Amino acid sequence: MKIIVTGGAGFIGGNFVHYMMNKYKDYKIICLDALTYAGNMETLESVQDNPNFKFYKADIADRNAVYEIFEKEKPNIIVNFAAESHVDRSIDNPSIFLQTNVLGTGVLMDACRKYGIDRYHQVSTDEVYGDLPLDRPDLFFTETTPLHTSSPYSASKASADLLVQAYHRTFKLPVTISRCSNNYGPYHFPEKLIPLMIANALADKELPVYGKGENVRDWLYVEDHCSAIDLIIHKGRVGEVYNIGGHNEKTNLEVVKIILKELNKSESLIKYVTDRPGHDMRYAIDPTKIHSELGWLPATKFEDGIKKTIQWYLDNKSWWQNIINGEYKKYYDLHYKGR
């Protein structure tokens, strides 16, 4: 079995590479990643010398490069994690989101058609559904909830998601799609809420909470996302969409306070800052389908997952300190200055 994992030097893709290489000792895992600001070879350090692992630095939107890799490797399965993934950056600069998330997905599927594969899996997101109101806790996203996006990021992911469905219907490409809620865990880039708050709290810096901090996200430990994708690519039905989430809703303020408490830091570090434009209020996944069809359930409770995550950031300071002291510093200063 040969799997191409695109975006494998990023947060979830990197965790997926480790998960698959630990679980399937005879699988060949090929990582295809452009190494944008979000890609980090240190994430893949421990597998780099494994003969079953191979890395290609390539852009998924570069047709020639992608075709060359497919021609050479003849993969069975493609799992597409590669994307521009940060909502705030999509507000600053939407075009790269269209380029990578939409056009890149199209190139990958063209390569699948040209060279033939057993499965193309698209890692989509719950953000394609838009948001839910705070005063309707009875509502959840199901796979049939209409797509209704808010940010350039979510619009680009929804476009890719629809393109994948179109390639299935029109060209009979054997695809599956997963739409997962917010992930957290090791190797999470420090521009995202949880690692940003851990890093700032450790440095006794202000914790910038958008608006009133009342927006709700449905948090899932990253390994549980990996186990769900593993099940879908092996046992999921072709042409189907699977929601992934563990019914773990928390307001941003709750999450930030838990982190501060775990680190023994004062809540006075919290700073309420100007809200994100178009900020989605609440995400909440109904995971009934993946549970009843494939038997998937999350293994890690938030109370345990957040402790493990904080411990990982304490044990791996050089991984994230290299990032926050590099190019990222400019983004941080620009994004949060005067907010």
Q: Is 198 in the site for ligand DAU (CB under 6 A)?
A: no
In the region spanning residues 229 to 288, those forming contacts with ligand DAU, defined by CB under 6 A, are: 252, 276, 283
CA dist 173 to 29, 118, 249, Å? 21, 9, 35
> Counting contacts by CB under 6 A, is residue 182 touching ligand DAU?
yes
Q: Site size for ligand DAU, by CB under 6 A? A: 19
SS3 297: coil
Q: Tell me if residue 272 is catalytic.
A: no
What CA–CA distance (Å, rounded) separates 319 from 251? Answer: 28
Cα atoms in the Cβ-side hemisphere of radius 13 Å centred on 155: 12
If one asks whether residue 232 binds ligand NAD (CB under 6 A), the answer comes out as no
Residue 36 or 321 having the CB closest to ligand NAD: 36
- Residues in 123-182 at the binding interface with ligand NAD, rule: CB under 6 A: 123, 125, 157, 180, 182
Task: Return the closest-CA partner of residue 143 out of 285, 314, 14, 24.
Answer: 285
Q: Which of 265, 263, 303, 238 is closest to 77 using CA atoms?
A: 238
Element (H or E) spanning 318, and its range?
helix 317-324
**Residue 44 binding partner per list ligand NAD, ligand DAU, none, with a CB distance cut-off of 5 to 8 Å that depends on partner kind:** none
Site map (CB under 6 A) of ligand DAU, residues 319-338, x = contact: --------------------
The verdict on 89 binding ligand DAU (CB under 6 A) reads no
Catalytic, 127? Answer yes
209 binds, among ligand NAD, ligand DAU, none (CB under 5 to 8 A by kind): ligand DAU
Token output for 112: 């699948």
Distance CA(172)–CA(106), nearest Å, equals 15
298 near ligand NAD, judged by CB under 6 A: no
Q: Is 240 a catalytic residue?
A: no
Q: Considering the rule CB under 6 A, would residue 197 count as an interface residue with ligand NAD?
A: no
Q: Which of 18, 54, 86, 121 binds ligand DAU (CB under 6 A)?
A: 86
**Do 179 and 147 meet the contact criterion of CB atoms below 8 Å apart?**
no
**19 DSSP 8-state letter:** H
> Where in 71-110 is the site for ligand NAD (CB under 6 A)?
81-85, 100, 104
State in angstroms the smallest separation of the CB of 54 from ligand NAD: 15
Q: Nearest Cα to 283, choosing from 157, 128, 106?
A: 128
CA distance 111 to 88: 31
Among residues 126, 131, 218, 249, the one annotated as catalytic is: 126
85 makes contact with ligand DAU (CB under 6 A): yes
Tokens at 111, concatenated: 């390569």
- Structure tokens of 163? 């393109």
- Name the closest residue to ligand DAU (Cβ): 125
Q: What is the C-alpha to C-alpha distance for residues 150 and 276, in angstroms, rounded to an integer?
A: 11
CB hemisphere CA count around 224 (13 angstroms): 28
Residue nearest to ligand NAD (CB): 10
In this chain, which of 8, 208, 236, 298 binds ligand DAU, going by CB under 6 A?
A: 208
Kindly identify the residues of this chain, within the stretch 41-60, that bind ligand NAD according to CB under 6 A: 59-60
Tell me, what amino acid is at 278? G
The answer to whether 209 contacts ligand DAU (rule: CB under 6 A) is: yes
What is the DSSP pairing of strand 2-6 with strand 175-180? Answer: unpaired
107: tokens are: 């190139």
Q: Which residues bind ligand NAD (CB under 6 A)?
A: 6-7, 9-13, 33-36, 38-39, 59-61, 81-85, 100, 104, 123, 125, 157, 180, 182-183, 189
Active-site residue numbers? 126-127, 153
Q: Which residues bind ligand DAU (CB under 6 A)?
A: 85-87, 125-127, 181-182, 192-193, 196, 208-210, 215, 217, 252, 276, 283
